[in-house]
């Protein structure tokens, strides 16, 4: 049901030197001509076990963080043992080594890395800070992503994605919800990423952030019109509501017992198909749907409770006969 699915892909080593990781103060110690090496995994590693001789621990495509503990351990080895470890570990599919705390590389390490075309970066930050920063950067850039046509709103803290054919009234309904105190995340093009914990996070990127297109009015800046509280940078997608023109004779769910899902990046999201007809206040219906979903998350399912009460009443009436 979604389109534009992108694989996890890769990040080139040179991208670690960009503005997003400026606070790590990364610099190149060697291998400037090999900064196009590809990082293919969002998790980084500390190669302590590999330096101890367990080379199967190294996973291809991961950034290797060399900190104080690894350096101190290597210093306890003889020169011959250390050269053997350097030779073996640099022969593996390592895209880059990052030295932390401004540690100087041990003799011979840069030579092996240069021979095996593995760049070496250095940071003055602590290992924990470097691991956190690079991991967050790689998760943002390597997780599966896609782009959806719709409007994403935050309603009562719930991420609600409105989808449907062009002209069905998604943006107008969203604008009405914004005037009722809810927040816009993205209009028209919703960028979505699926993180390792399963969260689907939607956001708007580029110059269209905080803007909406309204037929007859053109482009409006929601933040300028309604203030900071009217927009959010991103939100988890918790509920998908598809707006569609009302069709006479078509069967629609009357009780709310049917629970459907909408798949985004192969992850299921609760899904509601909502018919749009002349005279229906769609924004209020969307708001009620969000409220009702919050109740379901809290364990209160109105439709099921109604059916249970109805069945209990029928049983009581049978008993009176």
The H-assigned helical ranges of the chain are: 48-51, 68-75, 79-90, 109-115, 127-142, 170-179, 222-226, 282-297, 302-319
Residues forming the active site: 149, 170, 188, 254
Both tokens of 142, joined, read 């390597």
Q: How many CB atoms lie within 10 A of CB 2?
A: 16
Contact call for residues 152 and 237 (beta carbons, < 8 A): yes
Q: How far is the C-alpha of 67 from the C-alpha of 51, rounded, in Å?
A: 12
CA angle 255–257–262, rounded 5-degree value = 120
Instruction: Tell me the C-alpha to C-alpha distance, in Å, between residue 164 and each of 240, 245, 252, 280.
Output: 10, 9, 16, 16
């Amino acid at each position: 049901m979604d389109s534009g699915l992108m694989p996890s892909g890769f990040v080139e080593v040179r991208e670690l030197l960009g503005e997003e990781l400026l606070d790590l103060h990364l610099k190149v110690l060697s291998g400037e001509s090999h900064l196009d090496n590809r990082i293919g995994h969002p998790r980084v590693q500390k190669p302590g076990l590999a330096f101890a001789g367990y080379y199967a621990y190294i996973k291809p495509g991961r950034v290797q963080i060399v900190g104080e503990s690894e350096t101190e351990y290597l210093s306890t080895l003889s020169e011959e043992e250390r050269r053997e470890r350097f030779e073996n570990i640099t022969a593996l599919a390592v895209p880059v080594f990052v030295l932390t705390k401004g540690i100087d590389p041990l003799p011979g390490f840069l030579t092996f890395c240069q021979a095996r075309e593995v760049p070496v970066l250095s940071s003055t930050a602590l290992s924990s800070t470097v691991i956190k920063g690079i991991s967050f950067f790689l998760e943002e850039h390597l997780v599966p992503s896609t782009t959806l046509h719709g409007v994403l709103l935050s309603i009562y803290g719930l991420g609600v994605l409105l989808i449907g054919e062009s002209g069905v009234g998604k943006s107008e309904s969203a604008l009405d919800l914004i005037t009722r105190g809810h927040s816009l995340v993205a209009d028209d093009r919703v960028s979505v990423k699926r993180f390792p914990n399963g969260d689907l996070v939607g956001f708007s990127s580029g110059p269209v952030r905080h803007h909406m297109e309204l037929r007859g009015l053109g482009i409006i800046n929601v933040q300028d019109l309604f203030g900071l509280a009217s927009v959010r940078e991103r939100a988890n997608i918790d509920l998908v509501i598809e707006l569609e023109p009302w069709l006479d004779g078509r069967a629609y769910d009357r009780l709310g017992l049917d629970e459907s899902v909408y798949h985004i990046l192969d992850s299921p999201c609760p899904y509601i198909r909502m018919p749009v007809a002349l005279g229906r206040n769609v924004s209020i219906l969307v708001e009620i749907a969000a409220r009702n979903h919050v109740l379901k998350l809290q364990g209160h399912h109105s439709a099921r409770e109604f059916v249970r009460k109805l069945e209990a009443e029928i049983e009581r009436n049978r008993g009176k006969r």
